[in-house]
Structure 1
Amino acid sequence: MAAVRLLVLGVIRRQQPTHGYAVRRELLSWRAETWTNAKPGSIYHALKQLTAEGKLETLGTESSAEGPGRTLYELTPDGEAEFRKLMDIALVSVDMEELGAAIAFMDALPRAHILEKLREQQRHSAEIRDGLLAMKPEFPDRQEPPHLPDMLELWSGVFANLTGWTGGLIERLEAGEYRTTD
């Protein structure tokens, strides 16, 4: 749910004031449903929850020729703080949904801050990779399940790939790619 909350806050932050259908349409254009759980129900649930928590404020209803009126939302100061907090968590995450959501909104932060968080994420990914490789038995052990070496190799490969991918993103950011707040 953290990725959906970040996506909803981020889209509203960029487009405010805006309505839930516009958030959904924007996320559909990113094909977010293929890499997150950002389905229509979860988007509207997040809108309700964030409003109830005081992270979003409703500004009334916009009329629509296509159906009922649409509630307009904007971030509150608490919503901005929640967005920043979720960005920091997601930029260091090894969860693909959370990290992907943070990458989508990197332009909301200063470059040095993004680089600091991504380096932390890269170190964490490398530690996980190394820990998985260290668990891999050198010789088959009859006491361990036969699939264990393959599982450890699979997961260490995933984290090796993430470590390398993050390194490439860091290099692109250092070279000036991506617009940031500074």
Structure 2
Amino acid sequence: MRKVSNPLALAVLAFLLMEPMHPYELGRRLQETAKDRSFRYNRGSLYMVVKQLAKAGFIVEQGSVRDTERPERTLYALTDEGRAELHDWLRELVATPKAEYPHFGAALSLLSVLDPAEAVELLGRRSATLAEEAAQIREAVRAAAEGGVGWVFLVDDEYRLALLEAELRFVATLVDSLGRSDYIETWHTIFGSRNDGG
């Protein structure tokens, strides 16, 4: 069990590996590098994670800075324990698959409750959203690569794109299956009279 288990902590440790920073700067770097697509956070959760990491001994206060009109900000630096935690945690995440419970998987496990025609319509809307997101990521990756960003800094986007493309293929196949007459007839036999939840 990790002392700090929020994945955002992993990003904080990684950024502090480069240099000491204050939480505001950490948030700015997450946005600038588009890591905010991989780590869900807001200002409050970022400050909370920084406090948790300090309490665990993974980071320490290292002075403060005052820039422009803003109030003084506390700089945090990575400790040796924090560096060890970063590498150990990252190695574990890269090497060991973990069971995840995405919302879509939960919905799919109960998909038979929906009228096949409605399920097809809803999946069509999902496909449109997925395709739009995939196009945005492709464009962001292209622009970053043209701007000189190394491929290794884009692998999280490439991974997300691969997942989106796989899900698009899966949804297309599922839509075809839901449209088959044998499934529709079976659904109406089993659920037709019970599914008037409109």
Calculate the TM-score normalised by the size of structure 1. 0.49
Q: Which has the larger radius of gyration?
A: 2
Greater share of strand residues, 1 or 2?
1
